[in-house]
Structure 1
């Protein structure tokens, strides 16, 4: 799905853009829900809010799918990304705003920090880059990783092209990597002994790998 400005013959938006707006809007509810949970509520309401808080996290696959879908669509005529142009665009649209808002959170709303608080330069830098400045910034950290590996995703999507045999093997290989990771995560982190000290793994790009690549493949075979 796309909206076309026929006067300039420029695609204004696609389904990836809509997914990004929807997912980003919903994930902003996380700090609001986190604040609401601290109110003196009965058990049923607390369970409902906690469940809603975790459910909001599942908008991240839609966001990643949307990002990759749009980038691959816009670079469809190229075999690889123009790194200079791509880097400038992503810095202006994603990296700079993320860093700016993270700084604002840490300085003006330090109480929103997760997994501890900063008390010196080293811990400030850690909170800044780890996504611990606010409850929803793990999302931004994960998203920025996909923007960094986008040249690789673009290369794979270009290699697959419109070849169904290559698509089949790409889906199988990426799916195998992804589900192997889920088994590892489930055993050692989610239900294992490293729930607290390996918590950063929930924002590593591999946890959302298939949604990125499948977003690119979806454009190839749209």
Structure 2
């Protein structure tokens, strides 16, 4: 898969997306960065739509460090009437001093963080932020804003965000249920393991 490193930086009017040998554009919201990068690359490199859809777009900051754009939504802490968060003081603290790279916002009735965060991978960036929010503010995040989790389409960026959403939900519900981290990681390692070769699978093969 062909990969492009695309620079994403703050600008006076929003965010600037700069694609290699394809120019740059300003966008109002970093969530549009992946889409804008593909448009720039399509026109700058004269690619067809199918080829552009299959590109691996890696957003980077000024130092070349990968950054990931996502919304972290807090859906599990509403009052009984659904009017707002039950832990008001914690969310006030989150709004007043959000984590680095994040801006406090609201998606419908839900408090949210809109973030551009570094990480060794998208899953690393999201899980690290979720842990920081839990330790620093005492708030549980279990949502990335997907409404139709059964739909599986779009760019790698979109699919990775959906995987992270499902993992956040699993981690949150595991804590509520008393399922340990070790049990979760064992489940993932076991379920994702490659089929063992006959010589390593045990038993008599003769």
Which protein has the bigger strand share?
2
Q: Which has the higher contact order (CA 8 A, sep 6+)?
A: 1
Q: Same fold (TM over 0.5)?
A: no
- Bigger Rg, which one: 2
TM-score (norm 2): 0.31
Which protein has the bigger helix share?
1
